[in-house]
Amino acid sequence: MTRPFNFAPGPATLPLEVLQQAANEMLDWRGTGMGVMEMSHRSKEFISIAEQAEADLREILSIPSNYKVLFMQGGAIAENAVLPMNLSRGARVDYAITGSWSQKSAKEARKYADVHVVASNESDHHTTLPAYGSWQLSDNAAYVHVCSNETVHGVEMHELPDLAALGSNAPLVMDCSSHIASRTIDWSRVGMAYGGAQKNIGPAGMTMVIVREDLIGHAMAITPSAFDYKVVADNGSMYNTPPTYAWYIAGLVFQWIKQQRETTPQGELTGLAAIEARNVAKAALLYGYLDESGFYTNPVAVNARSRMNVPFFLPSDDLNDAFLAGAKAHNLLQLKGHKIVGGMRASIYNAMPLAGVQALVSYMKDFAVSHG
């Protein structure tokens, strides 16, 4: 069977090697006679899986020792509430609006904190990034929130704001659900990063929170214990039963990332550097064709284009069904754009090989010729 190329935005494609290893271990993990889904989360077997996964993630992302890594549940949408409960301390919080996900984050946070919008690209239909120098930062914000990659609109912050240089002492908090582990993170600029796992890391069901130690321990009294970062950290992410299988798959993905190699003109790259170089190449190929095609369009400003999620439009919506049907016939799946935006969207996460983008571009060329 030829495996199709799956361009879904999440839950998304996983590395074939990871799926094969998980299949091999489904009934018996390392001679224990149990599959991972059957293990107690407090067993020495699962503890070893959990500890290795955290160690590998710390290595991949170069997470400093004074940051806690929490494996939680509820997705980024739950974190939109959990975050202000834990970090707002009853003060004002700043939010930058760069797409539909940051809009949702700000809306949810308003239930628990005084939200101030520091910048917005709504007038540009979420196709640009407001210049950091134009942000209207509060003097006393508890934190500044961004969504560093907007999955729906295809907008990405390739460089994070330096809040100290902008005159703010607040920690930067970022929802990085759809680009985590696709590039490096400058932790000198980030107080907390969080995201659902179902884009680049593993199956839906797990949420990762990476938070600086000094920011935890200040949760509102109304915060559920299972969502209090201090409680979760003190219990090794096992205050309640964690999403064990998702945690296990994430660990396999982290090992896969560490094993990656990529040859570039600058030499051979390994691990996350190899992943990032590959992602740059995939995005350049797809955007390059979109720009030269004269048939397809991408509305996002060049400096704000996402490497992970590429929305594009055909000359007429009347062609959409034919395009999707033809794509499916060519083993190119889940290219339909989000209902908010319409058109098409190709999500080209870490597990999407360059060959998948090449196949998509080849199909797009043929479709343009036959329908142009």
Catalytic positions, written as ranges: 101, 175, 199
Residue 346 is encoded by which pair of tokens? 């190709």
Spatial separation of the C-alpha atoms in residues 312 and 345, rounded to whole Å: 6
CB 141 within 8 A of CB 168: yes
Give the neighbor-by-neighbor strand order of the sheet with 67-72: 67-72, 207-212, 192-196, 172-175, 144-147, 92-97, 114-120
Nearest to 58 by CA among 241, 185, 248, 226: 185
Closest to 277 in 3D by CA, of 157, 348, 182: 182
Distance CA 64, CA 267 (A): 27
Quickly list DSSP for 141-191: -S-EEEESEETTTTEE-SS---TTTTT--SPEEEE-TTTTTSS---GGG-S
Measured at the CA of 198, the angle between CA 59 and CA 230, to 5 degrees, comes to 60
**What are the residue ranges of helices labelled H in the chain?**
16-24, 44-61, 75-87, 100-109, 229-234, 244-259, 271-293, 320-329, 354-371
Question: Hey, is 243 helix, strand or coil?
Answer: coil
- Report residue 129 as tokens: 């990034």
- Residues contacting 239, CB < 8 A, separation 6+: 225, 226, 231, 232
